Structure 1
Amino acid sequence: MSEIKLISLPYQSSLVELFAHYRDLPMPILLDSNHESFSDTRYDMIVADPIAMITAKQEETKLIWRDSPIYNIGNHQNPLDILDEIMAHNVEEIWAKNAPKDIPFTGGLMGYYGYETGQYVETLPNSGIDDILLPDLSIGLYGWALITDHQKLETYLMMTPWCLDEQEDLLERFKLSENIEPLSFKLSGHFTSNMTEEEYSEKFRKVQDYIQAGDCYQVNLAQRFSARYKGDTYQAYRALRTSVPTPFSAYIELGTGAAILSHSPERFLKCDRGRVESKPIKGTRPRGATPEEDRSLAEELLNATKDRAENLMIVDLLRNDLGRSCVTGSVSVPKLFALESYANVHHLVSTVEGKIEKTQDHIKVFHQSFPGGSITGAPKIRSMEIIDELEPHVRSAYCGSIGYFSNNGQMDSNIAIRTMVADGRFIHCWAGGGLVADSVCEEEYQETFTKVGKLTHTLEQGFLEK
Structure 2
Amino acid sequence: MFRYPLPYQADSRAYFLAIADMPWAMWLDSGGRGRFDILTAHPIATLVTQGEQTEIGGVAAEWRSDADPLDLIREQLGVKATNSPDIPYAGGALGYWSYDLARRWFMLPNLAQEAEHLPEMAVGIYDWALVVDHQLHTAQLVSHLRHPQTEVFLHHIAERFDTVNDCGQAGAERAFRVASTISSNFTRARYETAFDTVQRYLHSGDCYQVNLAQRFSVHAQGDALTAYLALREISPAPFSAFLSLPQAQIMCASPERFLRVENGHVETKPIKGTRPRGADAEEDAMRLADLRTHPKDRAENLMIVDLLRNDLGRCCLPGSVHTPTLFEIESYSNVHHLVSTVTGELAPSEDALSLLRACFPGGSITGAPKQRAMQIIEELEPHRRGVYCGAIGYIGYDGNMDSNIAIRTLVLAENNLRCWAGGGIVADSIAEAEYQETLDKAAGMLALLRMFGG
TM-score (norm 1): 0.93
* Superposition deviation, residue 317 in structure 1: 0.2
Contact kept, 8 Å, 1:360 with 1:409, in 2: the verdict is no
Could you tell me which amino acid in structure 2 is paired with residue 114 of structure 1? S
- Provide the rounded CA distance (Å) in 2 between the counterparts of 1:410 and 1:311: 27
Structure 1 residue 6 corresponds to structure 2 residue 11? no
Report Cα offsets for 1:28-79 as digits up to 9, x if no partner: 10010011xx2xx1000111111111111122211111342x2111xx4221
Question: Aligned residues: percent identity?
Answer: 46
Aligned equivalents of 1:182, 1:127: Cα separation in 2: 40
1:395-431 Cα shifts (integer Å, max 9, x gaps): 0110000000111232110001100011122100001
Q: Is the 8 A contact 1:282 1:349 kept in 2?
A: yes
Is 2:341 aligned against 1:351? yes
User: Which residue in the other structure is 1:306 paired with?
Assistant: 296
> Which structure 2 residues correspond to residues 73-88 of structure 1 after superposition, within 5 A?
73=65, 76-87=66-77
Q: CA deviation at 1:448?
A: 0.7
Cα distance in 1 between the residues matched to 2:297 and 2:200: 20
Q: Which AA in structure 2 matches 1:436? A: V
Deviation at 1:168, TM superposition (A): 1.0
Q: In structure 2, how many angstroms separate the alpha carbons of the residues matched to 1:99 and 1:309?
A: 40
**Residue 222 (structure 1) aligns with:** 213
How many angstroms apart in 2 are the aligned matches of 1:81 and 1:409?
Answer: 14
Return the match for 1:377 from 367, 375, 395: 367
* AA in 2 matched with 1:368: A
Q: Separation in 1 of the partners of 2:380 and 2:52?
A: 23
- Report whether the alignment pairs 1:287 with 2:277: yes
* Distance in 1 (alpha carbons) for counterparts of 2:348 and 2:416: 42
Match of 1:114 in 2: 98
- Counterpart of 2:257 (choices 264, 267, 279) is 267
Task: Tell me by how many angstroms 1:360 deviates.
Answer: 6.8
Change beyond 3 A, Cα 1:99–1:267: closer
Alignment match of 2:161 (pick from 170, 174, 178): 174
Q: For the residues of structure 2 that align with 1:110 and 1:454, how far apart are their CA atoms?
A: 26
Match of 1:199 among 177, 190, 195: 190
Q: How does 1:51-90 map to 2 (within 5 A)?
A: 51-68=44-61, 70-73=62-65, 76-87=66-77, 89-90=78-79
In 2, the alpha carbon distance for the partners of 1:357 and 1:107 equals 24
Instruction: Give the letter aligned to residue 13 of structure 2.
Output: V
C-alpha displacement of 1:151: 0.9
State the SS of the aligned residue for 1:202.
helix
Mark the runs of 5 or more structure 2 residues left unpaired by the alignment: none
Match of 2:244 in 1: 253
What is the Cα deviation at residue 124 of structure 1? 2.6
Offset at 1:83? 1.8
Of residues 176-185 and 262-271 in structure 1, the stretch that sits farther from structure 2 once superposed is 176-185
Q: Is the 8 A contact 2:317 2:344 kept in 1?
A: yes
Q: Deviations over 1:172-198 (max 9, x none)?
A: 000114532211100001211012111
What displacement does 1:213 show? 1.0
Q: CA deviation at 1:365?
A: 0.7
Deviation at 1:6, TM superposition (A): 1.3
Q: CA RMSD in A?
A: 1.4
Q: Is the 8 A contact 1:44 1:147 kept in 2?
A: yes
**Which of residues 30, 34, 49 in structure 2 aligns to 1:33?**
30
Q: CA contact under 8 A between 1:116 and 1:126: conserved in structure 2?
A: no
Alpha-carbon distance in structure 2 between the residues aligned to 1:334 and 1:453: 31
Kindly provide the amino acid, as one letter, of the partner of residue 77 in structure 1. Answer: A
Separation (CA, whole Å) in 1 of partners of 2:260 and 2:403: 6
Cα distance change of structure 1 residues 283 and 389 upon mapping to structure 2, 3 Å threshold = same
- 5+ long unaligned stretches in structure 1: none
Q: Measured at CA, do residues 86 and 360 of structure 1 come closer, stay the same or move farther in structure 2, by a change above 3 Å?
A: farther
Contact 2:315 2:350 in 1 (8 A): no
1:320 corresponding residue in structure 2: 310
**Cα pair 2:275 2:291 within 8 Å, conserved:** yes
**Structure 1 residue 101 displacement after superposition:** 4.0
1:147 maps to what in 2? 131
Instruction: Give the CA deviation at 1:106.
Output: 2.4
Amino acid at match of 1:57: Q
Please tell me whether the aligned partners of residues 111 and 138 of structure 1 are also in contact (alpha carbons under 8 angstroms): yes
Moved more, 122-131 or 179-188: 122-131
Cα distance change, pair 240–264 in 1 and its aligned pair in 2 (3 A) = same
Deviates more, 1:387-396 or 1:354-363: 354-363
Are 1:334 and 1:353, in contact at CA under 8 Å, matched by a contact in 2? Answer: yes
Contact 1:17 / 1:179 at 8 angstroms: preserved in 2?
A: yes
Structure 1 position 358, deviation (Å): 4.2
- The DSSP-based 3-state class of the residue aligned with 1:128 is coil
**Deviation larger for 315-324 or 48-57:** 48-57
**Does the CA contact (< 8 Å) of 1:274 and 1:359 recur in 2?**
no
Is the contact between residue 2 and residue 144 of structure 2 (CA under 8 Å) also seen in structure 1?
A: yes
1:235-254 paired onto structure 2 within 5 Å: 235-254=226-245
1:358 and 1:14, CA in 2 relative to 1: closer, same or farther beyond 3 A? Answer: farther
- Shifted more, 161-170 versus 240-249: the winner is 161-170
Q: Which amino acid is the alignment partner of residue 90 of structure 1?
A: V
**SS of residue paired to 2:245:** strand
User: SS at the partner of 1:90?
Assistant: coil
Equivalent residues of 1:5, 1:158 under 8 A apart: yes
Q: How many residues align?
A: 447
Match runs of 1:360-439 below 5 Å: 361-439=351-429
Seen in structure 2, the aligned counterparts of structure 1 residues 228 and 155 have a Cα distance that, compared at 3 Å, is same
Q: What's the offset of the Cα at 1:363?
A: 2.0
Q: Is the 8 A contact 1:243 1:454 kept in 2?
A: yes
